[in-house]
Amino acid sequence: MKAQFAHVIVVAAASIFALFGLAANRPAWGQDAATPPTGRSDYQVARGTHLTLQSDVGTDESLKDLVESFDAAVPQWERMLKLPAGTLDHWKVRAYLMEQPDRFRASGDLPQTLDFKHGYAMPGVVWVRLQPSQYYTRHLLLHEGVHALAIDQFGSTGPSWYSEGVAEQLSVHRDQGRTIQLGTVPGSKSEVPYWGRFKLIEQARNDAKIPSLATVMELPTDLRGDVESYGWCWLVSLLFNQYPEYESLWQQAARDANDLPEAFTQAMRRKLESQWPIINARWRLLTETVDYGFDLQREQVDLSIRDPLFRQSELNLNVSADRGWQSTGVRFAPGTTLTITATGQCSVNQSPKPWISEPAGITIHYAKGRPLGQLIGCMLPNLADDNQYATPLKTFTLDQTQTIVIDQHCWLLFRVNDYLGDLGNNQGGYKLSIRTSP
Ligand SMILES: [Zn+2]
């Protein structure tokens, strides 16, 4: 019974992924699908240690890349899922890369009842349709491979927010073949052609439709091919793996994937209960900030439910230019009026010579629509927001001395404006003095 249930979930999750709409960029799809079955089975076959790939499309080189990438991914998955070393040494998957699925139906390699646009996973076998870029074909092969691995090791894949999060996190990659690196955040659009998740996340931000963490964790098993939902699932996975305190919870959850989806999610909510305001606040910062180049380490935000309420008359803080959002370490109550003074200098670029900035920023150079080096503040609510969409965070800029009125229970965070992937070469920072105003 359990196996049957697991199968239903896996099939549903995989087929939803299959409904992704990027095929529209490749008009040949529809025409190919209408091509009558040929009954031919003169496929190309490429064999690796873990993968046997059968394909009706591609060059020797492109198929070799896919097999080598998959083989190099397996030991990384083993490590990332904390499986005992050697567990996957003999794990094997059969994969079909298809330009014309009807040929595979005719040759008996694709069940007649399976119909999908992108990819599909079952125990020990995956099907992937050719994508408009080699990156995305490889990504999808890996994504379905993670589902197949989860079924093999854990008996199932868990509810969609978890299963698609894990599959996405372990398939986003840099490089290819033997040097492939999994679990990365793409540095640029050109690194991940046709992947497209950041574009949809940006659109949601602009429309003030960033889902709350609770919303994502309640996504239905049937995601109806909504690519944006896959993006949110991926971000949940990134969040859990960005902070050491959630990481083991995330890895352990894979072992509970056989539970009913509702029970799985409720158990996770219970385990997170004492941390819920913190993980929610971090979710809001992540979803408001993430884009190409997002640096998981530099964007870790230090928050605690034990942060005291601000009562002092003055608080001093150094805001480093080489980190993301930085908290003052205290909470603020509504109605508090603060005077914030910012001083100091930082450098936000080193080449050909250091670019020195003050809190107002360098007004001839812009990043993300703001002057490079500009000091930005943010009011981050203390209370978890379980509404469908999170209320957009309030940000403000600071130049020398400014008065702000706190209008909600919140933390105050600051950062120096720069491209997300370019924080590493920054030096110095600004000194902030925060005082209550009468
Ligand atoms: Zn999937």
Exposure of 98 by Cβ count < 10 A (0-12 exposed, 13-18 middle, 19+ buried)?
buried
Please give the pLDDT value at position 33: 32
Cα of 166 vs centre of ligand 1, distance in Å, is 9
Q: Does residue 223 surpass a pLDDT of 80?
A: no
What is the topology classification, in CATH, of domain 2-289?
Neutral Protease; domain 2 (1.10.390)
**What pLDDT band is residue 40 in, cutting at 50, 70 and 90?**
low
CA of 62 to the centre of ligand 1 (A): 23
How many whole angstroms from its chain centre is CA 107? 37
Q: What confidence score (pLDDT) does residue 419 get?
A: 95
pLDDT tens-digit readout, 159-185:
999 999 999 999 999 999 999 999 999
Enumerate residues 6+ apart whose C-beta is below 8 A from 102: 33, 35, 36, 37, 38
Q: Do domains 2-289 and 314-436 have the same CATH topology?
A: no
Q: Do the Cβ atoms of 381 and 327 come closer than 8 Å?
A: no
Answer for the pair 221, 398: CB distance below 8 angstroms, yes or no. no
Return the bridge partners of 430, or none. Answer: 319
Residue type, 351: S
CA-to-CA distance for 247 and 270, rounded, in angstroms? 16
147 CA to middle of ligand 1, Å? 7
User: Comparing C-alpha atoms, which of 22, 213, 228 is closest to residue 135?
Assistant: 22
| Sequence ranges of the domains in the chain | 2-289, 314-436
**What pLDDT shows up at residue 438?**
75
Distance CA 332, CA 315 (A): 12
Asked whether the CA dihedral 111, 116, 122, 126 is positive or negative, the reply is positive
What one-letter code names the amino acid at 369?
G
241, two tokens: 């793996």
User: For residue 84, how far is its CA from the centre of ligand 1 (angstroms)?
Assistant: 24
The Cβ-side half-sphere exposure at 75, using a 13 Å CA radius, reads 11
181 CA → ligand 1 middle, Å: 19
Structure tokens at 260: 């009913």
Q: Give the integer Cα–Cα distance in Å for 168 and 145.
A: 11
pLDDT higher at 434 or 25: 434
Q: Which two tokens stand for residue 187?
A: 């540095």
The alpha carbon of 233 and the centre of ligand 1 are apart by a number of angstroms equal to 10
Secondary structure of residue 228 in the 3-state scheme:
helix
- Locate all alpha helices (DSSP H) within 243-341, ordered by sequence: 244-254, 261-272, 276-289
- CATH of region 314-436: 2.60.120.430
Q: How far apart are CA 352 and CA 51, in angstroms?
A: 47
pLDDT computed for residue 62 by the predictor: 98
Q: Which of 290, 323, 292, 326 is closest to 426 using CA atoms? A: 323
Buried b (16+ CB within 10 A) or exposed e, 329-367: ebbbeeebebebebebbbbbbeeeebbebbbebbeeeeb
Residue for token digits 């409720």? 266
pLDDT at 24: 26
With pLDDT > 70 as the criterion, what percentage of the chain qualifies?
90
253 CA → ligand 1 middle, Å: 17
User: Would the pLDDT of 3 be above 80?
Assistant: no
Cis amide prior to 36 (ω within 30 degrees): no
How much distance in Å is there from the Cα of 120 to the middle of ligand 1? 8
> From the CB of residue 176, how many other CB atoms can be counted at a distance below 10 Å?
16
For residue 157, the CA-to-ligand 1 centroid distance in Å is: 9
Q: Quote the CA–CA distance of 326 and 413 in Å, as a whole number.
A: 5
For residue 320, give every residue at least 6 positions away whose Cβ sits within 8 Å of its Cβ, in sequence order, or none. 326, 416, 426, 428, 429
Residue 415 is predicted with a pLDDT of 98
Give percent of the chain with pLDDT exceeding 90.
Answer: 81
Q: 12 CA to middle of ligand 1, Å?
A: 9
Q: State the Cα–Cα distance between residues 267 and 264, nearest whole angstrom.
A: 5
Task: Kindly give the distance from the C-alpha atom of residue 167 to the centroid of ligand 1, in angstroms, as a whole number.
Answer: 6
8-38 tens-digit pLDDT: 334 434 433 333 322 222 222 222 233 334 4
pLDDT tens string 317-351: 999 999 999 999 999 999 999 999 999 999 998 88
Burial class (CB in 10 A: 0-12, 13-18, 19+), 253: buried
- Phi, psi values for residue 430, rounded to 5°: -115, 150
Please give the Cα distance from 404 to 336 (Å, whole number). 8
pLDDT digits (tens, 9 = 90+) for 399-431: 888 999 999 999 999 999 999 999 999 999 999
Total Cβ atoms within 10 A of residue 201: 20
Q: Distance, CA 39 to ligand 1 centroid (Å)?
A: 29
Q: pTM of the full predicted structure?
A: 0.89
